[in-house]
Structure 1
Amino acid sequence: MPVDWERPEGETIEVAVVRDRAGDPARRVGTLVSLPGGPGSSGVDEILKGGKFSAELRGRFDIVSIDPRGVKRSHPVQCDAGLVKYRPNVIPELGGWIDEVHSYARDLAASCRQYTGALLDHLDAVSIARDVEAVRSALGVDRISTYSRSYGTMPAQAYAELFPKHLRAMLLDSVDDHSLDGRAFLASEARAGKDTFGGFTQWCARDEQCALHGTDVDQIFDDLYAKASRGELRDPADATKPVGAFDLNAQIVQRLYRPEWSRLATDLRVLADQPAGSPLPPATAQPQGKPAPMPEITVCSDWNFDIADQDQWIRLWREQNTNSAPLRAHFAWGAGSLCSGWPIPPANPPHRPQIVDGPPVLIINSRHDPATPHEWAEGVAKNTPDATLLTYEGWGHGVYDRSPCTTNAADQYLINLTIPQTSCPAA
């Protein structure tokens, strides 16, 4: 693929592609391109490990996927290992300064450019969509169907804007709303954290199997957050490694993905039972002169986060606290703070979908999703021509394989272009 699709005769990279041929060729419908999330997930690994798709779907489609540019086998983004390991303080009330975050972003970008080259300017969803079109052309098929999950819905939507006549069907699972500005993005993510953590605490209150049953879970989190803020919280697997306040928030939200309520309760119980220890010194950046992967900076290629100074950052932090209470923040806060100082303007800035003559679109999303809020799915459905939203009335991130209801509805759409219902009960 060209590094820069505006200069197709210029420098190129290799993009890894995998194809799992239809198991029932006589009933084959066509080619389904599966776009992985992350950003940073490997579509090749996912298919090689068996994928998430039903036997029916694997029988009816050649399933194709890629490692998106910048990921794993496809010219991975590499940055200085010391800078990748270090994260600046992104909590204003604990001494964080946005100028320091911006300085770190510039240093990180310089190291990424050193190890990654010109690709650093072309990691955006539009470039990935053009890669997908090149794969379609190489396969010699006129139209493809697409399945995408989470951040993979970004290049899927870009493909629909650029190449609608080559799309037979587009299934967006846990969709990103690319029409949002930075402030709205951060606020909605924070609300998703509050909503899904609330589901966890309600479960703990009613289920005796919860390791925190009978306790004030919000107060336990407050106590842990205070210990983490003082540098007194340790990683249970490595007592020399601190768990910072922002690390604590991010780990909790990650447990809400499946969701893993039981494991989250046990995690918090173990942390709460830790004996008091002396504060650990804060981490410092240690450039090591060798590369380490960091594909998550792709976010800075697709989003705008305009944070000009400390006062504005503090105002946004207070909004974050209110919207995510009692968690105080969502892990998206760290990405937004970093990207606000990224020295490379986003090649694919936020905008409403601009799809003309595309196919009917199916969007599937959990009612309670910690990463791609249901309000995002509602926004994309409203702004996308001929789109239908199917809501899974439960918790978690990623819907296709949630339940027989969600799998069957998705399969019926992809195989027959029919949508049997617009709601599936929580499993």
Structure 2
Amino acid sequence: MVKHKLSMLVAIVFTACLMLSACSVGSKSDTRVTPSTSSETNSLDGEDAVIPAGLERYYQQKVSWAPCQESDLKDYQCARVKVPLDYSDTQKEDIELALARSRASGKCLGSLLINPGGPGGSGVDLIKNSEEMFSEQVFSTFDVVGFDPRGVSRSHPIECTTDAQKDESLAESLDLGTAAGRERSIADMKEFAQRCQEKNGDFARYLDTVSVARDLDILRAVLGDKKLSYLGYSYGSFLGTTYAQLFPKNVGRLVLDGVLDGSYSYGEVSMAQAKGFEAAFGNFAAWCAREGKDCPWDTTAAGMKRLQRFFKAADASPIPTKDSARPLNGALAFGAAVGMLYYETLYPSLLEGLQEALKGDGAPLLKISDLFNQRGVDGKFENNALDAFIAINGADYPVEGTQKEWDQRGQKLVRDFPLMGSSMAYGEYALAAWPWESTAKREKVKIVGVQPILLVGNTNDPATPYEMAQSVHRQIPNSRLVTWKSYSHTAYGLGSDCVQETVDKYLVGGVLPDSDVTCDD
């Protein structure tokens, strides 16, 4: 198979999922959180946090809230907060972060900051969907605050490509099993980086997660909280562990859902995700053979082979859509399918799209691809998530290993994972072409003196495999791990009462379970 631009399919699927009628998530429940006699509780009280030297004007700024101007945010309040572009030199320019909040309806404990992941996901956009996910008691207890991290959406967005260039990149298919394919991938990255520099200067070098975590502490302070309460999904979990390492004494109640292990190298993440999504394709194929109406195959193995043939055929002969200029090729079909694998509730819609494509109509799968990439019917992309995803990963992942090691890993990926391997292989070549060298350190979490943290992981999460949640759990001795037996990505707010109740008790009451929890509902 050829490689498709999976690297461009950012993990904003979490937010996009909520826009699909087929995606059933947990409704805003009225789970009653009762007091516990457990001594294992997280307090939000304490001494005033120490302000880092030289950052007083940021930590002590006043926040001016006003009704949001965007029509779909009219029920919320919005504000902007200044942070330094460069924490090593605060004499450089400031940038502003966009915030949106839902005021607590009852006695307020403080703010709950939320991040949907990505990287490149908008917390301001997430808050629009949060009422369908979080319990009424969470909204009663906290000012729920979504924020766009630096470089993302409304917060000094990094803009590298035009809408037409995004379309071209998303539809590009490359055979990375060949030298020519790898060279094209490297050239693509160099071209993308050049566009970033022409439009943004060296801004990309300041998008690392350590800087975002330092921004997060400023947000905590200006919101008036002594301790940070935070819910981070997917990449947002890595932001959470980074924050806890930098500011252990400021940690209040941290929920990290869909855990990304920050010690994994770029290649190790690719290997883990290839394994996870290959298994998810297998789960979809098995579901279809078992339950799907008019399934195109009758066994799991037959389904996996049929899918491979379908993507290859779509590359050779793109399938017509309603837009004659945008037929459905293998890259777009593959991206749509991978997006639908994030949540088992989307399997029926994926099957319907495949069935229509096999009949010669590529429009349904193209619509799905556009939804996950947040492309409107007018051809305009809603935000800069695609550009931010690449730039932030470039800032976070240093180039590691030798070309020989990259080749060995790439060959193994292609060999072991027939559907996913070629879409995840040889990514280090493109990463090495990123001009702003990452200074990040990929290492095990080292958190000392922090209040207990609640981790949430799915046994068959394709995007942040369960092994990562288990690994981070071992790295944080006083953490608890909530396990959901599911093939979906992330868990809180997506239908499990067990997960919902456990997380709500922790957020609202500061109560940790006595031991790790397994949910199979």
Mapped pair 1:391 → 2:475? no
Checking the alignment, whether the CA contact within 8 Å between 1:20 and 1:63 is kept in structure 2 is yes
Inter-CA distance 196–156: structure 2 relative to 1 (3 Å threshold): same
More moved, 188-197 vs 208-217: 208-217
Q: Distance in 1 between matches of 2:455 and 2:130?
A: 23
Checking the alignment, whether the CA contact within 8 Å between 2:395 and 2:437 is kept in structure 1 is yes
SS at match of 1:363: strand
Q: Distance in 2 between matches of 1:306 and 1:244?
A: 33
Checking the alignment, whether the CA contact within 8 Å between 2:173 and 2:330 is kept in structure 1 is no
Q: Distance in 2 between matches of 1:95 and 1:338?
A: 13
Shift of 1:308: 6.0
Q: 1:227 aligns with which of 313, 318, 322?
A: 313
More moved, 267-276 vs 157-166: 267-276
What is aligned with 1:54? 135
Mapped pair 1:418 → 2:514? no
Checking the alignment, whether the CA contact within 8 Å between 1:32 and 1:146 is kept in structure 2 is yes
Mapped pair 1:17 → 2:103? no
Q: Which amino acid aligns with 2:398?
A: N
Checking the alignment, whether the CA contact within 8 Å between 1:60 and 1:415 is kept in structure 2 is yes
- Which aligned pairs between 1:167-178 and structure 2 lie closer than 5 A? 167-178=251-262
Q: Which amino acid aligns with 1:42?
A: S
What is aligned with 1:37? 117
Q: Share of identical aligned residues, percent?
A: 27
Q: 2:152 aligns with which of 51, 65, 71?
A: 71
Checking the alignment, whether the CA contact within 8 Å between 1:234 and 1:240 is kept in structure 2 is no
Q: Distance in 2 between matches of 1:412 and 1:137?
A: 24
Shift of 1:374: 0.6
Q: Which amino acid aligns with 2:318?
A: L
SS at match of 1:394: coil
Q: Distance in 2 between matches of 1:235 and 1:417?
A: 54
Q: Distance in 2 between matches of 1:337 and 1:90?
A: 13
What is aligned with 1:203? 287
What is aligned with 1:321? 414
Q: 1:254 aligns with which of 311, 335, 339?
A: 339
Q: Distance in 1 between matches of 2:481 and 2:179?
A: 43
Q: Distance in 2 between matches of 1:58 and 1:136?
A: 18
What is aligned with 1:299? 393
More moved, 146-155 vs 239-248: 239-248
Checking the alignment, whether the CA contact within 8 Å between 2:258 and 2:469 is kept in structure 1 is yes
Shift of 1:305: 4.5
SS at match of 1:157: helix
More moved, 126-135 vs 89-98: 89-98
SS at match of 1:6: coil
Shift of 1:94: 6.3
Checking the alignment, whether the CA contact within 8 Å between 1:168 and 1:359 is kept in structure 2 is yes
Mapped pair 1:218 → 2:304? yes
Shift of 1:83: 4.4
Inter-CA distance 85–348: structure 2 relative to 1 (3 Å threshold): farther
Q: Which amino acid aligns with 1:178?
A: G
Q: Distance in 1 between matches of 2:432 and 2:234?
A: 22
Q: Distance in 2 between matches of 1:335 and 1:76?
A: 25
Inter-CA distance 372–20: structure 2 relative to 1 (3 Å threshold): same
Deviations 1:382-418 (A, max 9, x none): 1123122111001211210121111111111112232
Checking the alignment, whether the CA contact within 8 Å between 1:299 and 1:335 is kept in structure 2 is no
Q: Which amino acid aligns with 2:198?
A: Q
Mapped pair 1:375 → 2:467? yes
What is aligned with 1:364? 456
- Which aligned pairs between 1:75-114 and structure 2 lie closer than 5 A? 75-81=156-162, 83-87=165-169, 89-93=173-177, 96-114=180-198
SS at match of 2:151: coil
Checking the alignment, whether the CA contact within 8 Å between 2:150 and 2:157 is kept in structure 1 is yes
Mapped pair 1:124 → 2:197? no
List runs of 5+ in structure 1 lacking aligned partners. Answer: 277-291
Q: Distance in 2 between matches of 1:2 and 1:105?
A: 28
Shift of 1:38: 1.5
Inter-CA distance 336–248: structure 2 relative to 1 (3 Å threshold): farther
Deviations 1:142-186 (A, max 9, x none): 112111001112221111011111111211000111101222211
SS at match of 1:409: helix
Shift of 1:318: 2.4
Checking the alignment, whether the CA contact within 8 Å between 1:13 and 1:74 is kept in structure 2 is yes
Inter-CA distance 342–210: structure 2 relative to 1 (3 Å threshold): farther
Q: Which amino acid aligns with 1:413?
A: Y
Inter-CA distance 210–172: structure 2 relative to 1 (3 Å threshold): farther
Mapped pair 1:180 → 2:228? no
SS at match of 1:15: strand
SS at match of 1:71: coil
What is aligned with 1:338? 430
**TM-score (norm. length: structure 1):** 0.87
Inter-CA distance 200–80: structure 2 relative to 1 (3 Å threshold): closer
More moved, 158-167 vs 377-386: 377-386
Deviations 1:40-62 (A, max 9, x none): 22111221444431111111112
Aligned length: 407
Q: Which amino acid aligns with 1:222?
A: Q
**TM-score (norm. length: structure 2):** 0.72
Inter-CA distance 419–141: structure 2 relative to 1 (3 Å threshold): closer
Inter-CA distance 380–261: structure 2 relative to 1 (3 Å threshold): same
